[in-house]
């Protein structure tokens, strides 16, 4: 099934006109990249997200207004940090799709970790300043990559029960069996795990990627998705899915494994951004993903993750599997037809 690729929602801006009456498209594009226009996009998206106040209770209305303002200020700060690291002529248009995703994640972290959006923004800003990654700040101006790896710098009992160093060592050696065993064992203790465990694991994956370790991802990503969904149900699955969608957007052809987590809107936005960047290799790569995208296959992949999350004891944590049972289920592959009961076995060639 081919995905109809539509331009992602971006900020509105007026097209300037030359003295001869010909629209100056370059000038209009540059104007859209300004911080002021990005701020307008953020404000519009926040307004659409929260909608008008409906309560007549003065106290409740004041509390809701305060929350709206806090989220708005946080978004503006995240965007300002990225803008400070990217020259105007190198910025890409800010999409309302990313703004909505950021609002959702900020609300989620605030509830699960009891952490204010302002504190979250401060930590993300520090990470971006240390990172100094131009391409990442261009393609992810609201720092979704840092929001989805955010974890408080404190030790908890939940963290102490996990041997993260053992998992990291297994990932470095691409030891699929040990990675599988670690996750199977860990998911059994989900009720006492620290709530930021998935974020810690996503940060571990980022750090290992930066060190040049890649092969372990084939098993790691699906095992992490199962753990996140087991701990937080659909929101957990969506957080891991969205993280690897952003990871795929930033790294493009370098991370084939992350294509399994993409939705049509993720692909459409990636195409638009890489076209703005003038990177035809990556733009064509995502266009090919759009052309071959199979919605039913993605749903099967999602269903497999959610089923495994509901039945953590269905797989033996000490079995010697070479990889995750889901690692070979690429969303663009159609599984072969299963043999029906009573059907004679096929003869060997």
Q: For residue 82, what are the CA distances in angstroms to 38, 42, 210, 256?
A: 11, 14, 20, 26
The span from the CA of 219 to the CA of 144, in Å, is: 23
3-state secondary structure of 94: coil
**Residue-level pLDDT at 61:** 58
Residue 127, pLDDT > 80, answer yes
**DSSP secondary structure of 304-340:** HHHHHHH-TTSS-TT---SS-TTTT--TTPPPPPPPP
- Classify the C-alpha dihedral 330-200-268-103 as positive or negative: positive
Portion of the chain with pLDDT greater than 70, in percent? 73
**Residue-level pLDDT at 52:** 60
Closest-CA residue to 202 (of 155, 254, 164, 158): 164
CA torsion angle for 339, 345, 346, 347 (degrees, to 10)? Answer: 170
For range 183-195, the mean pLDDT: 92
Residue 166, pLDDT > 70, answer yes
Domain boundaries, the chain: 25-147, 154-331
**Residue-level pLDDT at 196:** 92
132 Rama class: left (phi>0) / alpha (psi -120 to 50) / beta = left
Q: What is the pLDDT of residues 132-142, one digit of tens each?
A: 889 999 999 99
**Residue-level pLDDT at 116:** 84
Among 154-168, 209-223, 282-296, 298-312, the least confident range: 154-168
For range 179-204, the mean pLDDT: 93
Residue 345, pLDDT > 60, answer no
Long-range contacts, 236-240 (Cβ 8 Å, 24+): 236/198, 236/309, 237/302, 237/305, 237/306, 237/309, 239/105, 239/108, 239/148, 239/198, 240/198, 240/202
3-state secondary structure of 95: strand
Q: Where are the alpha helices (DSSP H) in the chain?
A: 25-32, 35-50, 58-85, 96-113, 117-131, 134-139, 144-147, 157-160, 164-172, 176-187, 197-210, 217-251, 264-277, 280-292, 295-310
Half-sphere exposure of 97 (CA within 13 A, CB side): 22
- Per-chain mean pLDDT for the chain: 80
Which stretch, 116-120, 227-231, 336-340, has highest mean pLDDT? 227-231
314, burial (CB in 10 Å: exposed 0-12, middle 13-18, buried 19+): exposed
Structure tokens at 48: 């659409």
Portion of the chain with pLDDT greater than 90, in percent? 56
211 Rama class: left (phi>0) / alpha (psi -120 to 50) / beta = alpha
For range 46-66, the mean pLDDT: 68
Q: Which residues contact 313 (CB under 8 A, 6 or more apart)?
A: 188
Per-residue confidence at 312, pLDDT binned at 50, 70, 90? low
Q: What is the pLDDT of residues 326-339, one digit of tens each?
A: 333 443 333 333 34
**Residue-level pLDDT at 118:** 83
């Amino acid at each position: 099934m081919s995905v109809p690729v539509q331009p992602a929602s971006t900020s509105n801006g007026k097209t300037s006109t030359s003295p001869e009456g010909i629209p100056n498209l370059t000038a209009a594009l540059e104007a859209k990249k300004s911080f002021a226009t990005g701020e307008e996009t953020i404000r519009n998206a926040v307004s659409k997200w929260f909608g008008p106040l409906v309560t007549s209770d003065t106290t409740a209305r004041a509390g809701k207004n305060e929350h709206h303002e806090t989220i708005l200020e946080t978004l503006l700060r995240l965007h300002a940090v990225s803008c400070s690291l990217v020259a105007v002529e190198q910025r890409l248009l800010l999409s309302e799709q990313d703004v909505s995703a950021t609002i959702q994640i900020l609300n989620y972290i605030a509830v699960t970790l009891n952490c204010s959006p302002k504190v979250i923004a401060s930590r993300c800003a520090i990470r971006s300043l240390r990172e100094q990654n131009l391409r990442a700040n261009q393609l992810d101006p609201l720092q979704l990559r840092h929001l989805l790896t955010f974890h408080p710098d404190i030790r908890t009992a939940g963290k102490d029960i996990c041997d993260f160093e053992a998992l990291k060592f297994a990932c470095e050696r691409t030891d699929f069996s040990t990675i599988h065993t670690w996750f199977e064992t860990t998911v059994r203790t989900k009720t006492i795990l620290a709530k930021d465990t998935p974020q810690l694991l996503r940060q571990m994956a980022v750090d290992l990627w930066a060190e040049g370790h890649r092969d372990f991802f084939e098993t790691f990503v699906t095992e992490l998705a199962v753990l996140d969904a087991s701990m937080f149900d659909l929101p957990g699955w969506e957080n891991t899915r969205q993280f690897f969608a952003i990871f795929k957007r930033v790294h493009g052809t370098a991370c084939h494994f992350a294509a399994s987590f993409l939705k049509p809107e993720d692909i459409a936005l990636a195409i638009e951004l890489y076209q703005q960047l003038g990177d035809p290799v990556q733009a064509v790569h995502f266009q090919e993903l759009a052309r071959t995208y199979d919605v039913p296959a993605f749903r099967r992949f999602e269903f497999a993750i959610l089923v495994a999350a509901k039945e953590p004891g269905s797989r033996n944590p000490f079995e010697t599997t070479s990889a995750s049972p889901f690692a070979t289920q690429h969303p663009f592959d159609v599984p072969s037809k299963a043999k029906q009961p009573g059907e004679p076995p096929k003869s060997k060639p």
